Amino acid sequence: MTGRLPRDVAARLGLPDESGLFGRVAAYGLFIALAYWRVAHEPAGAILPAGFGVATGVVAAVLPRRRHRVAQAAAGTAPPARATPVAAQAEGPFGDPRLVIPGRSPAPFLVGLGLAVAFLGLVFGAWLTIAGGIVALIGARTWIAEVMRESRVID
């Protein structure tokens, strides 16, 4: 057994192979979280695999939509893309003009740190969730302000 859906089943469902893989990994993470909670009744050990299962489930749900968009673009039925300034085209990674590499900033680190601390608060207390949420919101606000500032410079 290879751990893959048979090609005819995946094709019938319209799922890419990766979507099925991520779906099975999500089910595994959620099963482990439930089993660990039933055995140990410890939040720390159950939250991590549950979060892992939810995150991979989101990826499994997004992949078919992405495949649909790529198929639309190949068929020429996709909605028209937004115009991108020439300055942004020069900075697009992987030749994709829609992506712009942001300048150096501590904001993404603050968002990540704040979310990590906030999720630790689910285990150790609400005060950590509040403190982490505040740090994440400050980081997000800073990040959005910097993106807006950079987009005005490009325009």
Token pair of 49 as six digits: 């695999």
Is residue 16 located within the same domain as residue 72?
yes
pLDDT for res 114: 94
Of the CA atoms within 13 Å of residue 99, those in its CB half-sphere come to: 6
pLDDT at 2 over 60: no
Q: Where is the domain boundary, 39, 57, 80?
A: 80
The alpha carbons of the chain give a radius of gyration, in whole angstroms, of: 21
Q: Where is the domain boundary, 80, 107, 137?
A: 80
- Report the predicted TM-score, pTM, of the whole model to 2 decimal places: 0.44
pLDDT at 123 over 70: yes
pLDDT at 10 over 80: no
- More confidently predicted of 101 and 128: 128
- For residue 92, the Cα-to-chain-centroid distance in whole angstroms is 20
Which structural domain range is residue 129 located in?
A: 82-155
The 10s digit of each residue's pLDDT in 20-52 is 888 899 999 999 999 999 999 888 888 889 999
Q: Cα separation of 123 and 37, whole Å?
A: 13
Find the length of the chain. 155
Average pLDDT over residues 100-109: 76
The 10s digit of each residue's pLDDT in 135-153 is 999 999 998 888 788 777 6
Is residue 55 located within the same domain as residue 87?
no
